[in-house]
Amino acid sequence: MVTMGGQLHDGKAGHDLGVHMGGHLHDHTHSGHAHPALRPAVLGWAMVATLGLVIAEVFGGIAGRSVALLNDAVHNLSDVPALGISWLAMRWAERPADSEKTYGYHRAGILASFTNALLLLLLAIWLGYEAVERLRSPVRVVESWMIWTSLAALAVNGGITLALVRGRKDLNLRSILVHNFGDALSNIAIIGGAVIIRATGAHWVDPLLGLAIGLLVLWSSVGILRESSHILLEGRPREMRVEEVARAILTITGVQEVHDVHIWSLGGGHNALSLHARIPDMHMDECERMLAAIQEKAEREFGIDHITVQLERAGLPARSGYVMPEPAKK
């Protein structure tokens, strides 16, 4: 068995086949880890600002008799626990791996985004029901309350959205970014709706906007729910193809076959790869160079920073569910 750490366990077969070069490389490359660009404190301030906005929108919705404002207040209220969960997830993700969580806590953010999306999905259904009920029985609204409250909300949501743009590649932060961007669009729609109501007297526009906000929440939450559950179920990163990674490894001199390839995401932009590679008999130092070449190619071309390789002697039958038997292209 060959390990990058430096031990070689070899045994000779009963016939003259030389040394069986099988082994595992457990390599943890930390230099390539991409931590979120934002600090947890940003989410803390965003949570305080959002809570203040909710209070303002509830007051404005009651005073202005606007279901759109009240629905948007509930929508923003859902962001408060979402921001809190994401803040906690970012703090957890900074914790190092230990004997129990050997991969670390990167999945904490994915779990947070899954929980947030599930809560939003239920909320969207409720918002839609309330809007339909108001469409059946329209209520006269006070347009000035809708306009001024939504302008204040737009300033808060727009500011939070801009602050979170730097962390958009992190799924946990992206879920919060989508929420606040949707909130900002809702504020713009409410302002426009209030202008239309003032000009035409069409008070049914208000519940219609509330229904549109509910559909927006539904659309965004379903997308995040699908992506976060894909990662939690060990799905391969969307931007990668198993065949492409396997063929890239095959281009390394000496690698004759690649099989049993598995690619998954650890969360927080960290991807992992495990595979079996068949190679000719060679000395320990040559094995180490080949393992380093596999690691370097996987990290440089695909951004994979946790790599496990099992070297096997070429010519033996493969016992795996996924085989890439193409010869390396010279």
Given a contact cutoff of 8 angstroms between Cβ atoms, the answer to whether 272 and 313 are in contact is no
Question: Which among 248, 231, 309, 329 is positioned nearest to 22, based on CA atoms?
Answer: 309
CB count within 10 Å of CB 198 equals 15
SS3 281: coil
d(CA 140, CA 226): 39
Write out the two tokens for 159: 């500011």
State residue 72's pLDDT score. Answer: 78
Question: Which among 270, 257, 265 is positioned nearest to 310, based on CA atoms?
Answer: 257
Tokens 């070449």 sit on residue: 293
Write out the two tokens for 282: 């060679």
d(CA 65, CA 50): 21
233 versus 17: the higher-pLDDT residue is 233
Q: What are the pLDDT digits (tens) for 175-204?
A: 677 777 777 878 888 888 889 988 888 888
Chain-centroid distance, C-alpha 220: 13
Does 36 score more than 70 pLDDT? no
Given a contact cutoff of 8 angstroms between Cβ atoms, the answer to whether 191 and 150 are in contact is yes
For the ranges 100-114, 189-203, 316-330, the maximum mean pLDDT occurs at 189-203
Given a contact cutoff of 8 angstroms between Cβ atoms, the answer to whether 118 and 85 are in contact is no
The kind and range of the H/E element at 116 are helix 107-136
Q: Distances from the Cα of 227 to the Cαs of 72, 88, 111, 207, 233, in angstroms? A: 25, 20, 11, 31, 10
The kind and range of the H/E element at 278 are strand 270-279
SS3 163: helix
d(CA 76, CA 225): 19
State residue 175's pLDDT score. Answer: 66
Question: Which among 167, 40, 161, 171 is positioned nearest to 115, based on CA atoms?
Answer: 171
Question: Which among 317, 312, 307 is positioned nearest to 287, based on CA atoms?
Answer: 312
pTM over 0.75: no
Contacts of residue 272, defined as CB under 8 A and 6 or more positions apart, other chains included, come to 103, 263, 264, 265, 266, 304, 305, 306, 307, 308
Write out the two tokens for 311: 């070297």
SS3 35: coil
State residue 317's pLDDT score. Answer: 60
Q: What are the pLDDT digits (tens) for 128-161?
A: 787 788 788 777 778 888 888 889 888 888 888 7
- Across the range 234-254, mean pLDDT stands at 87
Q: Which residues pair with 307 in a beta bridge?
A: 27, 273
- Across the range 18-45, mean pLDDT stands at 48
DSSP state of 138: -
pLDDT band at 168; cut points 50, 70, 90: low
State residue 137's pLDDT score. Answer: 78
State residue 323's pLDDT score. Answer: 52
Give the chain's mean pLDDT. Answer: 75
SS3 28: strand
The kind and range of the H/E element at 121 are helix 107-136
